[in-house]
Amino acid sequence: MKDRRRRPDPTRTEDNLDLTVSIKNLSIPLSNSNDNKQSDNLSFSALLVCRDNASQKWGPRWLRQAGLDTTMLTEPDKGLSVARSTRPDVIIVEASLQDKNGNRLFRVFQDAADVVAPVIALCSNTKEVIAAVEADVFDVVRKPVEWQLTGRRAVHAAQSASKDVKLVEARESLSRALELADNARLHLRSRQTFEPVTGLPNKTKFIDLIQRGMSAAERDSNDLAVFVIGFSRFRLVIEAMGQETVDMVLAEVGKRLRDCLHNAGSVQTHASGLRTAAASNIDPMRFGLMLTCSRESDELAALQEQLTDNLSRPVEVAGQTVYLSACMGIAKFPQDASDVDSLLQRADNAMRDAQSRGGGFRFYCAETDAAAVRKLKVEHMLHEAFENGELRLAYQPITNVSSGQIVGAEALLRWQQPDGIEIMPAEFVPVAEECGLMDRIGEFVLNEACRQLKAWQIEGISSLRMSVNVAKVQLMTGGFVEMVQSILRQHSLRPGDLDLELSERGVLSGDYDVINTLHKLKSLGVRLSIDDFGVGESAISYLKELPVDVMKIDRSYIAGLVRGGKDAAITSGMVALGQSLDMTVVAEGVESQEQLEILQQLGCDEYQGFYQSPAVPSDEFCDILRDPEQAE
């Protein structure tokens, strides 16, 4: 550190009376010749650059006596390089010495940014003293040099510089500590308001942004739309891929949402006032969007289109392709709610309504709230129903088209409450899948159906096979194959007695884990069926990859058979397709003799439906087996 305290004025008489007085007016006691011993234990170093014979003779001796480990140099051109290599604590240099470029050596030392040692100039005349002072050297000593005193002054210079360096280092350490503390506060604040995986604002921050947006929209007579975005069966993705891969998926989704908002600027050209837009990671499986929009424009429709395009594209992560089925709910301020919590809740209810319908967009309406309340109630009752044994099975006959013989039974889940009110599977099964009950319920259904089949076999009814519906969530759960094997062994059933029915959407998706599970089930000897064939969204090409034994044509095609036209043509094509792939083809929803006769003409293998019998309790099913005409 360069010292800037007062230097001696060579023009002043009092400053020249004693040529050994410090230019800093230091108070150094000169009595007691043994005082120099106080420096014996100091571990400072000095660089002495001189050509004067007296300085070469006495300088190193007295400097070492003062406690300075001294390096002496007589070649000025090497002065700077030696100073850089030895890094002395103080430099003592003859003021007359110059480098090869003609620069005074003391000024070279002063100007070098990487040389921090204080410089003491040994001056022969007033001109050199003035030059040294102008160069802002630490100290000036007039020749002839009193080396004993100069040694003390050199030690003092080294001590002062050391203190200055330590002070600078302390200040720098304090500055770094304060910077680290500020960064830590910013990081903590960031973690409190932003999700680390996606970098998007979290729910707390999002609520604050919505509040600000509502104020701006109200002031400018605009609307504010809040989107809540979820994904169907996202829990399955987590279970199948692990959290690390899922985090990469979420990060990509967050990026796509930001891109949508960035592009939303081109959508908002017709609106006036302050425009507000934000994306948020509400929780690990839901996202949010907020956008102010003009009441007269179709901005939301354009944004919906962008979101659909962005979120429908598959996500490629870690060498895997992930297909997401986005479900989006929208609520608007001030039409749908006047406060943040209600607005966000109603957008979430609309999203859940979209989830229950298989995906897409849903705008909030009063019926949405009623549906959300109903779903929550059903979920609560379903937990109690399962524990209280209110869930039971009914059995619908599966009949051979040609012979009219009953060859199987489909086990169908029924829920009748103690008050006699029946809740239909179409309502409670999706709730069971969403709330995580489907695994337990599915195991209960499979075990009860196998128990019943074994009971019928004991009674002498040995030609039936039992069909049981299986949800995709069960196929994605580890241990499903082992569970099936255990139940078959428990009830002493042949694997071929069991037919597992899977929805077309569940199996024709190209999901490796599902296909792998199907092949394992097939290796057990279990029969596999595709249920409701013809209403899914997947490619028929997957059929050739699946170990499926039975194709069940959806009832929607059978309903139009008698009218002919497209339904009849499609049904005929599906029968031919299934049989060409060595599958048994079953028609669902047969309700009349005319439909059955057409199926006979088409060569369909089996059928089920109200024409034979609705699903009935096990004792009534036995009556039908004994006298099939009772069911007609």
- pTM (predicted TM-score): 0.54
Question: Where residue 187 falls among pLDDT bands split at 50, 70, 90?
Answer: low
Say which CATH topology domain 203-364 has.
Alpha-Beta Plaits (3.30.70)
Q: Is the pLDDT of residue 380 over 80?
A: yes
Report how many helices (DSSP H) and strands (DSSP E) the chain contains, helices first: 22, 21
How many whole angstroms separate alpha carbon 422 and alpha carbon 311?
38
Tokens 């199996």 correspond to 507
Q: What is the mean pLDDT of residues 517-521?
A: 91
Residue 43 gets which letter from DSSP?
Answer: -
For 263-274, what is the mean pLDDT? 52
Q: What are phi and psi of 393, to 5 degrees?
A: -110, 145
Question: Percentage of the chain with pLDDT > 70?
Answer: 82
SS3 string of 50-94?
Answer: CCCHHHHHHHHHHHHHCCEEEEEECCHHHHHHHHHHHCCCEEEEE
Domain ranges of the chain: 13-167, 203-364, 377-627
Identify which has the larger pLDDT, 99 or 448. Answer: 448
Q: What element of type H or E holds 180?
A: helix 147-193
349: pLDDT strictly greater than 70: yes
Residue 121 parent element (H or E): strand 119-123
pLDDT-wise least confident of 5-9, 168-172, 231-235: 5-9
Please report the pLDDT score of residue 232 as a whole number: 76
How much is the pLDDT for 59?
A: 92
φ and ψ of 492, to 5 deg: 55, 50
Q: Which range (22-26, 125-129, 287-291, 358-362) has the least confidence? A: 22-26
Going by the DSSP 8-state scheme, the letter that residue 125 receives in this structure is: S
Identify the architecture of domain 13-167 in CATH. Answer: 3-Layer(aba) Sandwich (3.40)
Please say whether the structural domain 377-627 has been given the CATH code 3.30.70.100.
no
Percent of the chain past pLDDT 90, that is, above it, reads 38
- Beta-ladder partners of 391: 415
Under 8 Å between Cβ of 596 and 432? no
Mean pLDDT of the chain: 82
C-alpha to C-alpha distance for 458 and 540, rounded to whole angstroms: 40
Please tell me the distance from the alpha carbon of residue 443 to that of residue 511, in angstroms, as a whole number: 22
Look at 10 and 521; give whichever has higher pLDDT: 521
**Looking at residue 620, what is its pLDDT?**
93
- Mean pLDDT score, 506-534: 82
Q: How many residues does the chain have?
A: 632
Run of H or E including 395: strand 391-400
For the stretch 207-257, pLDDT in tens is 999 998 898 888 888 889 999 999 876 766 766 677 788 888 889 999 999
Structure tokens at 491: 């009830």
Element (H, E) at 174: helix 147-193
Q: Which residues pair with 503 in a beta bridge?
A: 531
Cα(554)–Cα(247) distance, integer angstroms:
38
CB 142 within 8 Å of CB 21: no
Segment 248-269 shows an average pLDDT of 77
